[in-house]
Amino acid sequence: MRAALPDPDAALCRDLATDLRAAGFASAALRGAWGESADTAIARGLRSPAVRALAGREDALAVLGRLLVLGMRQPLPLVDLALPGTRAEGLVRLGLAAIDGDDVVPTAIVRPQSFVDEHGEGEWWVASDLDEAALGGPLPEDHVLGVGGASLTLASLQLPTPAERGLDIGVGCGIQALRARRNVAHVVATDISDRALAFTRLNALLNAVEGIETRSGSLFGPVAGERFDRVVSNPPFVITPRVEGVPAYEYRDGGLVGDDLVAAFVTEVGAHLAPGGVAQLLGNWESRAGVDGLDRVRAWVAASTVPLDAWVVEREALDPLAYAELWVRDGGTLAGSPGFAALIDAWTIDFAEREVTSIGFGYILLRRPETGGPTLDRYERIPQALPDGGLGRHLADALDAHDALARLDDGELAASIVVVAPDVTEARHQLPGAEAPTLIELRQGAGFGRSLIVDPGLAALVGACDGDLPVGVLIDAIAELLEVDAGELRDDLLPRVRELVFTGFLRLA
């Protein structure tokens, strides 16, 4: 195990930020320097296309791109020129590099990460440990991961509404805490890894983000007795066999059996939520011994000492072999390399012994009701590709819609005016020459990108929701047009109107 990074010096971090800014060290500039294809290759752990694109260049952007993004040693004089305020010595003092003769050897990577949220466009520099491409082999067990696909997913899920106190459990390099601070006044960031906490402090200073407090410890231990308005976690949820010879990577393995860590989070988080507080996390859950994975998550929520609203979305499910291959490769052990087969066997034997048939991955949103008991109990599978843009605003709007609908009985809903969301389109499919369509489909261009097959009655109602007449009046008119009983049509359509409002096809005016 490596020693923790030195506690970051604030003045040095300001100098480094100034130097990086002066060098144009930004994601768009780097992408322009080595090209889109090389940029995609870097995301897949392949750096040779970028190396070739920068060959022969000694300008500051190229030197810093090789040193801090690709993790390659660079000549000491060129580094000093590229970082005139920090110099190579400053990188050493920050724990980001070492000096070996006339070369500067990176001991960490610092990569620009652009983002867009409701406050506008922005970019952070995010420091983390060297990746597999820079190391040339498997990762150390105390590896602190940089910004990956899961990190970006959770960041885009965070609610964009303001709050006072936030908690990031398993902070890693700090990306979720940075994102949370865009809307939350103060964030407590915890991790069992002192190295991760040091990276978080460094990244906060490097990006001049105040209001992030780091604490060491596991799960809710560092915040015993405290409550928060927001809790976010990309926990070490990867299911790992507890046998000798299988690496226990801190960034992905919580040290428990199966999906017990995610279960512990779900059952314990309610006590740390303020009334109205929301927790969001990514997780894995097992379908085990004939019990569906989502049903197991439902049982965890039910076991919470504090009743919780729950919205759980399973995005994908893998069989045990595919899951094992994914995470063995993630640790840097490739197919055909020594130890690959033994690691695969360890995973598949563990799953077989515990009667696991599949492993789901997805999003969990939990909320402590402000008053009364839970009213949201939603568990669903949404495997389709999502539209561009984050889901945070969609989730916030859906929660608001749920709360508004909960206050309306059917009579009040019928008296309400609803409008079609601007991203909704309709497709009608019919046989050539046929008078009526055989299938009517509503499609959502935002949110979860849902697609619904609807009958003529609901299609007519959605088409008429232009903000002019109440829902009940529209249903009565449609009943007359279709020559059906108006009361029966109301009983049929109003529950579906509630669903369309929650999912974002319709909006309460």
238 CA to centre of own chain: 15
pLDDT greater than 90 at residue 333: no
Containing structural domain, residue 491: 406-508
pLDDT greater than 90 at residue 139: no
Span 311-320, mean pLDDT?
A: 97
Does 82 reside within a domain? yes
Span 152-174, mean pLDDT?
A: 96
Which pTM was predicted?
Answer: 0.93
Same domain, 361 and 412: no
Given 348, 383, 418, which residue is the final one in a domain? 383
Same domain, 191 and 65: no
Same domain, 456 and 414: yes
Closest-CA residue to 347 (of 318, 380, 389):
318
pLDDT tens string 51-96: 999 999 999 999 999 999 999 999 999 999 999 999 999 999 999 9
Given 65, 97, 112, which residue is the final one in a domain? 112
Helix (H) or strand (E) segment spanning residue 156: helix 149-157
Say which amino acid occupies 365. L
Does 334 reside within a domain? yes
Does 312 reside within a domain? yes
pLDDT tens string 286-303: 999 999 999 999 999 999
Same domain, 445 and 362: no
Same domain, 256 and 144: yes
pLDDT greater than 60 at residue 394: yes
Tell me the three state secondary structure of residue 481.
helix
Same domain, 201 and 306: yes
Does 2 reside within a domain? no
Alpha-carbon gap, residue 475 to 463, rounded angstroms: 12
495 CA to centre of own chain: 31
Residue 487 tokens read as 């009361």
Alpha-carbon gap, residue 286 to 282, rounded angstroms: 14
Same domain, 72 and 192: no
Same domain, 345 and 483: no
Q: How confident is the model at residue 2 (pLDDT cuts 50, 70, 90)?
A: low
Give the number of domains in the chain.
Answer: 3
Helix (H) or strand (E) segment spanning residue 461: helix 456-464
Does 290 reside within a domain? yes
Alpha-carbon gap, residue 179 to 164, rounded angstroms: 14
Same domain, 362 and 478: no
Same domain, 145 and 240: yes
Same domain, 89 and 182: no
Given 112, 144, 172, which residue is the final one in a domain? 112
Same domain, 91 and 40: yes
Does 398 reside within a domain? no
pLDDT greater than 60 at residue 1: no
Alpha-carbon gap, residue 483 to 472, rounded angstroms: 16
pLDDT tens string 348-383: 999 999 999 999 999 999 999 999 999 999 999 999
Average predicted confidence (pLDDT) for the chain: 94
Does 396 reside within a domain? no
Does 5 reside within a domain? no
Least confident of 135-139, 167-171, 228-232, 234-238: 135-139
